[in-house]
Structure 1
Amino acid sequence: MRAPIRVGIAIATVVTAAGALAPAAAMAGTDSGVSSTTGATAKFVSYGDKIMLCDQLGDTFSVYAQYYVNGGAIHTTSQHNGGNGTCDTRTTGDPAEGAQVTVRAGRQVDGGADNYGPWKSGRA
């Protein structure tokens, strides 16, 4: 009778040890909501850690995005001036997995204050 019990304990030990050595699953990122202001939209896309920036108007004003990672310094992307719904992507570098990336759309207005959309957050 004792032999089957020992075999059962040995098997349970091996399964437990194998499970303990298994690598942890990678954390899945999440896209942010869309930040929108007159003529501009911006969104953080977790796949590739990029910002999708769209110029919605065929005017002469450039659009850009501002973003920060985990509450750090605010960065401004290069401007995009394609107009009429054209979009482009901008890099956010390579934030750590699970880092919070917060973004907003901006629109340059000559002779006036720039327009900004609300801040929207996602996870790298």
Structure 2
Amino acid sequence: MSKKTQNKIERKSDPRVPSLIVSLKEQARQEDAAIWRDIARRLEKPRKNYAEVNLSKLNRNATDDEIVLVPGKVLGAGILKRSVAVAALGFSASAKEKIAENGGRCITIEEIMKEKPAGSGIRILI
């Protein structure tokens, strides 16, 4: 890792993000899975550029029993009528509640990396 990249990662305000970025890159190398490298690159950017996805967008773009990964935060605006597993950096309280009401799951990016190490069957939503 170059010094420039390392300095950029170390400056993150959320202490969880730098270690997550390193884990994502390591997983990408081990499994030859481009999805984890893509998510790491998205999280290296400034936080203001992270994805913020409302439940209404999840409802439009996901199918039942699908795994959706959001490289940012899931917000509770809108109605969710699908049972989906959502992996994200963060969730609003109302988003967690609405996802659970529909039989879905809210999981962290770290957890989805352990469940699906190769990254297959995951849809990225930004």
- Fold similarity call, TM over 0.5: no
Report which structure shows greater RCO (CA 8 Å, sep ≥6): 1
TM-score band by shorter chain is under 0.3
Higher helix share: 2
Higher strand share: 1
TM-score (norm 2): 0.25
Could you say which structure has the larger radius of gyration? 1
TM-score (norm 1): 0.25
